[in-house]
Amino acid sequence: MKKIKIANKKIGGNNPVFIVAELSANHAQDLELAKETIYAIKESGADAVKLQTYTPDTTTLNCDNEFFQIKQGTLWDGKTLYQLYKEAYTPWEWHYELKDLSEKLGLIFFSTPSNKTAVDFLEKLNVPAYKIASFEITDIPLIEYVASKGKPVIISTGIATLGDIQEAVEACKRVGNNQIILLKCTSAYPAPLEEVNLRTIPHMAEMFDCIVGLSDHTLGISVPIAAVALGAKVIEKHFILSKDIETPDKEFSLTPDEFKEMVKAIREVEKALGKVSYELTEKTKKSREFARSLFVVKDVKAGEVFTEENVRSIRPGYGLHPKYLKDILGKKARKDIKKGTPLKWDLVE
């Protein structure tokens, strides 16, 4: 069973699901708000906080021709890519403070780099893992560079074909990095439920022989909970301090109370999943006393024949197993038996 360690957290196997709160643009360009959000992330039960490390200029061009206009029916239509990324990016100078705060609170801090410069910057910060965003999954040179750092690589697959995923996985392995986590993802914001296709999670785990999780952009918490039931070992969800904050990602982000409820539900599902077992617990054994068994249901005299009128399978389970009913019928009582007596072999001639 595949296992990977990020900082002090073991991921995969029977270890707890790794829950990542995505800060993304939800700081609204306010450092103090970003810090407040990290405190709330800790309170909500997340294991990690994730940033995105880019600038508008490392991601796109400041150009407003048709190629750079957003017009795909998204929340951001009417803007250029540059305008969106300028509004959404996290200033790099904040990373130091946010990492220190996160680690002080016991949260794991890592990020999604957009290019080699961002990777080099994050290496100086000594992040314990890297995330590849869905829209960078085709940037094989970037993936190779990230993987070459020898740290776990978490790859979102939101816009990827099967071939794209295969190439990304092979890129990591080419540079000697097998610490790969794939995240099932639907790159629609918010993502419609009918496009999520969670059944891909166990298939992806088997096909690529790696840990698989979910990067979720649906509304609410149902999808991440279901993903855990299907074998997701990592859950990533956007986190916002309040829906009153105007940010590009607010529509598909969870508030602290919602995130806390998601974490609680995931931890409950983990307990319920347990292991493959047909053993009876002590409580179940006790409950088994209420199973059916054979009882004398009418007074029977010594020598009287047992019939379906005076012997029946009823609750509780202190008599013979119901499977012996056919063997009992037609036989005689060894002695007088009162109604309500569990039938035992020593009562049968």
DSSP state letter for 292? -
Residues linked to residue 81 through DSSP beta bridges, in sequence order: none
pLDDT tens digits for 141-197? Answer: 999 999 999 999 999 999 999 999 999 999 999 999 999 999 999 988 899 999 999
User: Is 227's pLDDT higher than 80?
Assistant: yes
DSSP state letter for 17? P
Signed CA dihedral, 176, 180, 185, 187: sign only: negative
User: Is 312's pLDDT higher than 80?
Assistant: yes
Distance of alpha carbon 128 from alpha carbon 125, whole angstroms: 9
* DSSP string for residues in 110-166: EEEESSHHHHHHHHHHT-S-EEE-GGGTT-HHHHHHHHTT-S-EEEE-TT--HHHHH
Nearest to residue 223, comparing CAs of 210, 238, 240?
238
Please tell me the predicted confidence (pLDDT) of residue 116: 96
Please tell me the predicted confidence (pLDDT) of residue 81: 78
Q: For 25-34, 49-58, 84-93, 285-294, which range has the lowest pLDDT when averaged over its residues?
A: 84-93
Signed CA dihedral, 35, 191, 129, 84: sign only: negative
- For residue 226, give both structure tokens: 């279901």
| Dihedral, CA of residue 181, residue 182, residue 184 and residue 186, to nearest 10 | 110
User: Is 140's pLDDT higher than 70?
Assistant: yes
Residues linked to residue 78 through DSSP beta bridges, in sequence order: none
**Helical H runs in 127-255?**
140-147, 162-174, 200-208, 222-229
How many CB atoms within 10 Å of residue 340?
Answer: 11
Q: Round to the nearest angstrom and report the end-to-end CA distance of the chain.
A: 57
Over its C-alpha atoms, the chain yields an Rg (Å, rounded) of 30
Domains along the chain with CATH numbers: 14-54+89-273 (3.20.20.70), 282-347 (3.90.1210.10)
DSSP state letter for 289? G
Please tell me the predicted confidence (pLDDT) of residue 202: 98
In the sheet where 293-296 sits, what is the strand order? 311-314, 293-296, 341-342
Q: Which residues contact 188 (CB under 8 A, 6 or more apart)?
A: 74, 195, 217
pLDDT tens digits for 203-222? Answer: 999 999 999 999 999 999 99
Please tell me the predicted confidence (pLDDT) of residue 87: 67
Per the CB < 8 A criterion, the answer to whether 294 and 311 are in contact is yes
Per the CB < 8 A criterion, the answer to whether 234 and 17 are in contact is yes
Average pLDDT (236-245) is 97
Q: 251-276: string of b/e by CB count within 10 Å (b at 16+)?
A: ebbbbbebbbbbbeebeebeeeeeee
Residues linked to residue 110 through DSSP beta bridges, in sequence order: 50
Residue type, 131: K
Please tell me the predicted confidence (pLDDT) of residue 64: 81
Per the CB < 8 A criterion, the answer to whether 50 and 26 are in contact is no
